[in-house]
Amino acid sequence: MFESPLKSNARNAWSESQEELSETEPVSPVSKGTRGKKKKKRRQQPQQQQQTEKRSVSAPQLCAEESFDREDEQSEKRYTDYDEPIVRGIFQIGKKSHDVLLTSMRVTWSPIQPETPTGELTVRTEYVELKDVFGVKVKRRRSAGQETGGTLLGITLFQCKKKGPKLKDHAIHFNNMSVDHCEIWFKKLKEILSSFQNRPKSLKVFVNPASHKKEAYQIYRDDVAPLFQLADIKADVTITERKGHAFSILKESNLDGYDGVVVVGGDGSVAEVAHGLLLRAQMDAGRDTDSMFTPVRATLPLGLIPAGSTDMVACSVHGIRHPVTAAMHIIMGHHQEVDVCSFSCLGRLLRFGFSAMFGFGGRTLALAERHRWMPPGQRREFAVIKTLANLKPEDCELSYLPVKKVQTETLDPEESWTTTRGLFLNVSIMAIPCLCSMAPRGLAPNTRLNNGSMALIAAGNASRSEFIKHLKRYNSVNNQFSFSFVETQTVWAVRLRPRSQSSWSDDIAEDNGEYDSKNTPIISSEGAYPWNVDGDLLEVPSELLIRLHPQLLTLFGVDIEEAEEAHIKCSCI
Ligand SMILES: Nc1ncnc2c1ncn2[C@@H]1O[C@H](COP(=O)(O)OP(=O)(O)OP(=O)(O)O)[C@@H](O)[C@H]1O
């Protein structure tokens, strides 16, 4: 059936605004050559050509094999290499009429030009691969306020284009006012596009309206939803009302009809949704999460639209903090397997996640959380400065399972653990690189999204100034690990048991004199130690076990090698 007028106002407005683009940029030029002498027999005089053009406009050629004579077949081969032609016709692209051919793999077009007196003709053939096309729409001109009908102008293809590290949408207009002509092209293109299996058709979307500068909904509405509509993706949107809202929906709802889950927010939202998806998978598979279970993979891929303040997970999987790039990865169905950690205490699963920090990282977050009344940037800077001022090492027993040791030895797993006891300013465990503007190469630059291992980065006891130098190097070209007190390991599992007598509640006691007047709630529980797990505060009463689970989750995105350039400098230290 001939679709259109476009279904929603938003879509109409979007599509019609594309009509303003009178000239289409050239896309993927394939040949600039001379097709003169060889093609002489086929070349028509301008009058003949006009007739052909008129005929094609009212009657597009469906390219059944028998519809081409031998010579035509040869010329088609030149266009398509090996691809069978499906339909061929004439469209105006930009200001010129073009001979346009659809095959199952691409749309190819070349301008129809009169022959020169010498018979030489330079033809610029261009094409767009259908694997890069995510939408096709009928293009109509409508007057202001008109919602249906309108003059048919042709069809528009929407292409996903790579520009540096970004993905962008790009419209290519094929103008032809014949309804029959456009109908055939539209139907054929739709058929091909709907056959791409990885591309989602229905998504569950969570938008956290409280993320960062409270712009998540606007980002979704303006940058993402119109692209989903162009790609004919149905989006079931929940605007979360509180922490844990997305988690409870994922735990309890029927997710059968969805091809993926999308979160619009920051790392805290991503962590909540990733944990929800993974926990749901364990529940569905009957895993006992109160034991040393082997987790099953999440069934649905997760898309991340960055709208938070750090967006480390989104940056690690897209290489850039750019909502349109993130949306295009979802639409095109780019899948990236990602390693995930589980965090358990006393044999019980606390949560799934990507990264954890103990010591400086945990204390800073705990302090920032207690000052939620401050604006986010100010709160973080305050917490970093205050924690640095009170910098104290943690007395811990740190054990880890190094990757090499387990691979090369067939020992009892317990004997493979390496254990050290000592004072640590900070201990980080990261399953993914954790790229962010403050650490453009990543907090763990030597780990990859799915290399089957985690980075353990332990900063031992050192002076405040040495520790600050180490932190500052995350935002510079110098190696942040080339300090004698910093040790890195590639590991499969980590156990950390704090042995300090003083828990982080001591920091609160120190802090209370100054901040009681603000009525800041004390969120610590006696004897619990603060961990920063994906930007979320996790209070752990005793030893925490962190295990790596290779490729447990699929994200929409690609593995990137290059980090986003740091545009924002960290001014807090
Ligand atoms: N309506 C809401 N009001 C308050 N908090 C919410 C709401 N919906 C979700 N949350 C919670 O807000 C927390 C923080 O959100 P999020 O991570 O998206 O933003 P952020 O903290 O600004 O960004 P980042 O984590 O990248 O620094 C999440 O843990 C999430 O569960």
* Bridging pattern class, strands 260-265 and 202-207: parallel
CA 29 – ligand 1 centroid, Å: 45
The alpha-helical segments, DSSP class H, found in 61-101 are: 70-80
Residue identifier of the C-alpha nearest atom 17 of ligand 1: 268
Give the residue, by CA position, lying nearest to ligand 1 atom 10. 243
State the closest ligand 1 atom to the C-alpha of 306, by its place in the atom list counted from 1.
Answer: 26
Report CA(146)–ligand 1 centroid distance (Å): 40
Q: Contact, 141 vs 153, CB < 8 A?
A: yes
Q: Measured between alpha carbons, how far is residue 191 from residues 104, 194, 299, 360, 515 in Å?
A: 10, 5, 27, 55, 63
Q: How many Å apart are CA 367 and CA 365, to the nearest integer? A: 5
Query: Which atom of ligand 1 is found nearest the CA of 247?
Result: 31
Provide CATH 2.30.29.30 ranges for the chain: 1-196
Closest CA to 129 of 172, 93, 99: 172
Residue identifier of the C-alpha nearest atom 26 of ligand 1: 266
- Tokens coding 122: 């330079």
State the distance from the centre of ligand 1 to the C-alpha of 216, rounded, in angstroms. Answer: 10
- Ligand 1 centre to CA of 450 (Å) is 26
What local confidence, expressed as pLDDT, does residue 123 receive? 78
Reply yes or no on domain 197-333 having CATH 3.40.50.10330. yes
**Ligand 1 center to 210 CA (angstroms):** 6
Say how many Å lie between the CA of residue 207 and the centre of ligand 1: 10
> Ligand 1 pocket check: which of 205, 208, 249 to mutate, most ligand atoms within 8 Å of Cβ?
208
Q: Where in the chain is the domain with CATH 3.40.50.10330?
A: 197-333
pLDDT given for residue 297 in this prediction? 97
CATH class of 339-551+563-573: mainly beta
pLDDT score recorded for residue 265: 97
Tell me how far apart the alpha carbons of residues 222 and 527 are, in angstroms, rounded to a whole number.
46
Residue 221 to residues 259, 306, 324, 327, 462: CA-CA distances in angstroms?
Answer: 20, 13, 12, 12, 48
Which residue's CA is the nearest one to ligand 1's atom 19? 211
The CA distance from 449 to 186, in Å, is 39
Instruction: At 519, give phi and psi (nearest 5°).
Output: 55, 35
Residue 499 class from Cβ within 10 Å (0-12 exposed, 13-18 middle, 19+ buried)?
exposed
Centroid of ligand 1 to alpha carbon of 326 (angstroms): 19
Ligand 1 atom nearest the C-alpha of 241 is: 1
Ligand 1 atom nearest to CA at 312: 26
Kindly give the distance from the C-alpha atom of residue 314 to the centroid of ligand 1, in angstroms, as a whole number: 15
Q: Which atom of ligand 1 is nearest to the CA of 265?
A: 18
- Span from the CA of 7 to the centroid of ligand 1 (angstroms): 33
Which residue among 205, 211, 318 has the greatest number of ligand 1 atoms within 8 angstroms of its CB, and so is best to mutate? 211
How far does the centroid of ligand 1 lie from the alpha carbon of residue 477, in Å?
A: 31
Got the DSSP string for 115-126?
Answer: PPTTS--EEEEE
Distance CA 498, CA 505 (A): 14
Reference 271, options 342, 352, 211; nearest CA is 352
Pairing mode of beta strands 394-402, 536-540: unpaired
Residue of the CA atom closest to atom 13 of ligand 1: 268
Residues with CB under 6 A from ligand 1: 208-212, 240-243, 245, 265-269, 272, 308-311, 376, 535-536
Confidence at residue 19, expressed as pLDDT on a 0 to 100 scale: 34
Q: Between β-strands 418-430 and 29-34, what pairing exists: parallel, antiparallel or unpaired?
A: unpaired
pLDDT in tens, the chain (573 residues): 333 333 343 344 334 333 333 333 333 434 433 333 343 334 344 444 443 333 333 345 665 433 333 444 444 444 444 578 999 999 999 999 999 999 999 999 999 987 777 767 677 899 999 999 999 999 999 888 888 888 999 999 999 999 988 999 999 999 999 999 999 999 999 999 999 999 999 999 999 999 988 999 999 999 999 999 999 999 999 999 999 999 999 999 999 999 999 999 999 999 999 999 999 999 999 999 988 899 999 999 999 999 998 899 999 999 899 999 999 999 999 999 999 999 999 999 999 999 999 999 999 999 998 998 888 788 889 999 999 999 999 999 999 999 975 555 555 566 689 999 999 999 999 999 998 888 888 899 889 999 999 999 999 999 999 999 999 888 887 888 888 999 999 999 999 999 865 555 545 555 544 433 333 333 345 578 999 999 899 999 889 999 999 999 999 998 765 434 434 333 333
Nearest atom of ligand 1 to the alpha carbon of 244:
31
pLDDT at 239: 98
Nearest atom of ligand 1 to the alpha carbon of 536: 29
Q: How far apart are the CA of 402 and the centre of ligand 1, in A?
A: 34
CATH of 1-196, one of 2.30.29.30, 3.30.450.190, 3.90.1150.10, 1.10.10.10: 2.30.29.30
Peptide bond into 5 cis (omega under 30): yes
Structure tokens at 507: 């920091």
- The residue contributing the CA closest to ligand 1 atom 16 is 266
- 358 Cβ contact partners less than 8 Å away, ≥ 6 residues apart: 394, 396, 424, 426, 427, 428, 496, 498, 529, 531, 532, 544
Distance 375 CA to ligand 1 centre (A): 14
What is the Å distance from ligand 1's center to 228 Cα? 23
pTM: 0.81
